[in-house]
Chains A and B, each alone.
Chain A
Amino acid sequence: MTRIVTGLGTALLASAMFVQATQAEKLTSLGAGEGQVNIVAWPGYIERGETDPKFDWVTGFEKKTSCKVQIKTANTSDEMVALMNEGGFDLVTASGDASLRLIAGKRVQPVNTDLIPSWNTVDDRLKSAPWHTVNGEHYGVPYMWGPNVLMYNTEVFKEPPTSWNVVFEEMTLPDGKSNKGRVQAYDGPIHVADAANYLMKHKPELGIKSPYELNAEQYAAALDMLRGQRKLVSRYWHDAFIQMDDFTNEGVVASGSWPFQVNILKSKGAPIASVIPEEGATGWADTTMMHSEAENPNCAYMWMEHTLSSNLMSDLSVWFGANPGVPAACTDGRGMQTAEGCTTNGMDDFEKIRFWTTPVSKCATQNNECVPYYRWVSDYIGVIGGR
């Protein structure tokens, strides 16, 4: 308990420092680097060759700019928002379900694209994506994007599963045993959208247009779906490495997952593969965003340029199984990725993916009567608790 008490004490001290949040002005010119840059990132996103010497996109940057890169990893979008609210960071690799919240909370500042020479190489589909562009202002530089794939055990599924129903509905799997206790789901409220995405295809009468814009009735249907799923799921996955352990030791055979886990398990020789089922999939599209009170703005801009122009996106695309925000990274040989590799990762499936967005009550498709995100948070805790 003391741990929690002191932890909260420090959190309070940190939070007291950002009470006065003001809209920061865009930078107009770059100066010399400050010597460091602090980044909040997804696990596996920023590698300096420590996990695998082949994957290193930090050392070169540090040598070139003398900006030392310091990384704090976060496991969920909510964790990222919380860290940015605490302050002390320059950049964050925010997904679409965090980016709008960060903009609304004035935690991030608009980016002057003139200071980023490689801006015009960014994928046209992402340049003005709604999750980082508000009123024509870009609040960040597109980073990577990818699908939340269905990971499965190839010894149980000789043929890839065609539908997400293997994780949503009780059924007998191809090996003749029930899926009860052998599937997993993501331990984050955004998983409600996966249920909605499934219902969109299988219960068209609900009239769901976007899995992130649900009116009360659609939302209730999605929660019912998840309550049914609770009976099938023994443990929800939160930490990528615990999920991998559950696939190897706990007899889990199917779950929504990231290509990251799929690639690591495959590289260890586990009988694992992944698929985007017929319903399509939710996905993430991340943006490198800059804190409104970034202490190292010059290094931060240098890093943003580095993400677009170096081997980073190409190698990260191989490492994480994601797609680069700069399409040329697939083809021009700046790193290890190839055009075929990008196709495997779903580069051409952009249209099939419904990208994570923060659910808000004012939504276009349901007459501004949507259930907002905070309800998703508390209700999902309830669903996992068996309510």
Chain B
Amino acid sequence: MSNVAITSQPRGDGILARLSDALWRRPTLFLVLLLAPPALWLGIIYLGSLFALLAQSFFSIDEFSGLINYEFTLKTYRELFIPANLDIIIRTTLMATCVTLGAAVLAFPIAYYAARYARGKWKALFYLGVMLPLWSSYLVKVYAWKLILAKEGILNWIFEVLHLTWALEAYLAIPLIGGNSLSVSYSGTFLVFLYVWLPFMVLPMQASLERVSASYLEASADLGAKPLQTFRLVLLPLALPGIIAGSIFTFSLTLGDYIIPQIVGSSRLFIGQAVYTHQGTAGNIPLAAAFTVVPVVIMGFYLWMAKRQGAFDAL
């Protein structure tokens, strides 16, 4: 009875029903409608602002009034290569490299343990431990670190209690990485960067390690490989996509950050701060735009290198 009732019902009387029929008959239209909003978002908001930025970098600034000359020029790009600006670029790239390497070294054992040994509640604890820092405000964490690293802060106090102040002082006396206290040295900036971006390295690494079957490692050992050889020739290549994915996060996030080096560090500018200073403070949008192109170029180069190294082959 009920079957008859359904089939005998007149079709397509409601607007929704007609619409649904139309979409079913034309799957391409359905696909277009589905993809249009994200495509528009990506095209207009993201690429649009990126191209607007690129365009800005070819303008220049009137040095007294701070107003922009809307004429094509490469003058702004030339300014990137004066020693003070070149310093900023090199400093930032070096810091990003160190942070990435540090994060990779620190994250590997954590991720390896989580992927291979942690089970049940330990696994839950691992996820919680890695994700927890991401839940609290970024600024709160950075200010907390400023207090931890300060000359009269917790870390110095611990060193004092352990009678190790001499070791810290010897470390801080090293030129370049040292300074008056950890909170005004590159080491301090490095530590905070490492802390803040570490989860972005651990999670992709853990995901990739989980996909490496334990039998590969056993096979390698059965064939006579020493643990170090197994690590170097089997585990590392197979985990590489995860490491590269994580390094893309840590590297690009460090390249662009402008808050950490302002709060913890020696006042020497990083690219993000240079962009912020020139854009927000000095009103020199062309130079800020040119500075923003730098990490884009560096990241492009980085991805190209990663591809050549075969990092994306397993994707």
Contact = CB atoms under 8 A, between A and B. Distances in A.
A374 B256 contact: no
Interface residues of A, number: 53
A114 to B, nearest CB: 29
B268 interface: yes
Given A15-B285, A385-B84, A238 B262 contact: yes
Given A82-B281, A373-B64, A381-B84, A249 B153 contact: yes
Interface stretch (A4-12, A329-337, A343-351): A4-12
A234 B179 contact: yes
Interface stretch (B48-56, B102-110, B113-121, B300-308): B48-56
Nearest to B183: A250
Given A9-B53, A180-B180, A85 B84 contact: no
A12 B150 contact: no
A242 interface: yes
Nearest to B263: A242
Given A8-B285, A234-B184, A378 B82 contact: yes
Interface in B179-235: 179-181, 183-184
B244 interface: no
Nearest to B292: A4
B268 A385 contact: yes
A68 interface: no
Interface string A1-43: 1111111110110010001010000000000000000000000
A21 B262 CA distance: 35
A8 B262 contact: no
Given A8-B279, A105-B67, A235-B266, A249 B53 contact: no
Given A251-B151, A386-B87, A5 B281 contact: no
Interface in B118-147: 146-147
A387 B82 CA distance: 11
B83 A235 contact: no
Nearest to A237: B267
Contacts of A249: 147, 150-153
Contacts of A377: 282
B97 interface: no
Interface residue tally on B, bucketed by range? 35 or more
B147 to A, nearest CB: 7
Interface string B143-170: 0001100111100000000000000000
A79 interface: yes
Contact of A8 (B49, B83, B295): B49
Nearest to A249: B150
Given A9-B52, A187-B267, A82 B280 contact: yes
Interface in B87-103: 87-88, 91
Given A6-B45, A8-B289, A387-B87, A85 B150 contact: no
A382 B83 contact: yes
Given A82-B282, A238-B262, A378 B151 contact: no
A372 B150 contact: no
B277 to A, nearest CB: 8
B111 interface: no
Main secondary structure of the interface of B (DSSP, over half): helix
Interface string A123-135: 0000000000000
A382 B63 contact: no
Nearest to B82: A378
A260 interface: no
B268 A386 contact: yes
Interface in A196-235: 233-235
A181 B180 contact: yes
A382 B84 contact: yes
A214 B282 CA distance: 21
Nearest to B291: A4
B52, B56, B87, B88 pick with most chain A CB within 10 angstroms: B52
Nearest to A236: B267
B269 interface: yes
A181 B182 CA distance: 12
A382 B268 CA distance: 9
Contact of A78 (B146, B150, B258, B283): B283
B275 interface: yes
B184 A101 contact: no
B70 interface: yes
B12 interface: no
A11 B279 contact: yes
Contacts of B79: 378
Contacts of A15: 68, 285
B285 A104 contact: no
A374 B49 CA distance: 27
A330 B156 CA distance: 47
Interface in B36-71: 45-46, 48-50, 52-53, 56, 63-68, 70
A8 to B, nearest CB: 5
A81 B63 CA distance: 13
Contact of B280 (A79, A236, A381): A79
Contacts of A233: 267
B288 interface: yes
A264 interface: no
Contacts of A11: 279, 285
A76 B35 CA distance: 45
Contacts of A181: 179-181, 184
A81 B88 contact: no
Interface string A51-79: 00000000000000000000000011011
Nearest to A386: B268
Contacts of A265: none
10 contacts: A1-B292, A4-B256, A4-B272, A5-B292, A7-B279, A105-B67, A181-B179, A236-B267, A242-B263, A381-B277
Interface of B: 45-46, 48-50, 52-53, 56, 63-68, 70, 79, 82-85, 87-88, 91, 146-147, 150-153, 179-181, 183-184, 252-253, 255-256, 258, 262-263, 265-269, 272, 274-277, 279-283, 285, 288-289, 292, 295-296
